[in-house]
């Protein structure tokens, strides 16, 4: 009974996870006890994915090999929700932020994907990062990640309680030869920060 199950993970109108399973043995099939246990084990694996929130962020399709009972679709293993908004200070729009909530198995990782301000101000960026951290904590994340780069951004992250765990190796694909312009912008940010 080697069979691949195709599962579409979605949610119902109340936001509860659902799984539409295709490829189960047909109606009225004669199944032995070991075959029934294999099907039950596969359905338990799929139920565990539902418990982890499969399909809540967006509809996703996964395949399960009943011989190995492993997911064959990497998109199900890493589900993400992305939110964003404008950063305002005393009614003046000063920047924007993007947050991501990523589920890795049983671990929920919050990411400050971007926190951009109209001027390199470490103190204001630190305050913005602290607000974003508070938002992610309300969403019950287990770990929060953010990327630095310029000295003023690195300083703001440090002041907000982040620590450096790795250096970012930035790569650019430059078809229109805009790299000189990017280098000038980075130098200006460094000079101001």
pLDDT > 60? residue 192: no
pLDDT, the chain, mean: 75
pLDDT tens for 91-134 read: 899 999 989 887 776 778 888 988 888 888 888 888 899 999 99
- In degrees rounded to 5, what are phi and psi of residue 183? -60, -40
Strand-by-strand arrangement of the 4-11 sheet: 17-22, 4-11, 60-65
Residue 62 confidence (pLDDT): 67
Residue 193 confidence (pLDDT): 45
Residue 46 · residue 64 · CB < 8 Å: yes
| pTM for the predicted model, two decimal places | 0.50
Measured on CA atoms in the order 135, 139, 140, 145, is the torsion positive or negative? negative
In CATH terms, the fold of domain 79-192 is Aminopeptidase (3.40.630)
Arithmetic mean of pLDDT, 15-36:
75
pLDDT tens for 51-61 read: 776 666 556 66
Residue 165 confidence (pLDDT): 79
pLDDT > 70? residue 189: no
pLDDT tens for 124-162 read: 888 899 999 999 988 888 889 888 777 788 888 888 888
Output b/e per residue, 126-156; b: 16+ Cβ within 10 A.
Answer: bbbbeebbebbeeeebeebebbbebebbbbb
Which structure tokens are listed for 21? 């399973």
Show me where the domains of the chain are located.
4-72, 79-192
């Amino acid at each position: 009974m080697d069979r691949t199950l195709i599962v579409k993970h979605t949610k119902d109108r109340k936001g509860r996870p659902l799984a539409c399973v295709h490829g189960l043995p047909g109606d009225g099939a004669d199944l032995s006890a070991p075959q029934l246990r294999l099907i039950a084990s596969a359905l338990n694996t799929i139920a565990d994915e539902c418990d982890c929130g499969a399909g809540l962020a967006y509809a996703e399709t996964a395949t399960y090999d009943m011989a190995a009972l492993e997911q064959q679709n990497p998109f199900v293993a890493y589900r993400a929700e992305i939110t964003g908004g404008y950063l305002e200070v005393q009614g003046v729009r000063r920047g924007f932020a993007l947050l991501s909530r990523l589920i890795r198995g049983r671990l929920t990782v919050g990411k400050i994907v971007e926190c951009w301000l109209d001027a390199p101000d470490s103190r204001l960026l630190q305050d913005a990062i602290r607000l974003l951290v508070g938002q992610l904590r309300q969403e019950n994340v287990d770990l929060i990640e953010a990327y630095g780069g310029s000295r003023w951004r690195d300083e703001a992250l440090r002041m907000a309680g982040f620590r450096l765990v790795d250096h970012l190796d930035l790569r650019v694909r430059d078809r229109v030869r805009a790299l000189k312009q990017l280098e000038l912008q980075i130098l200006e940010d460094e000079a101001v920060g």
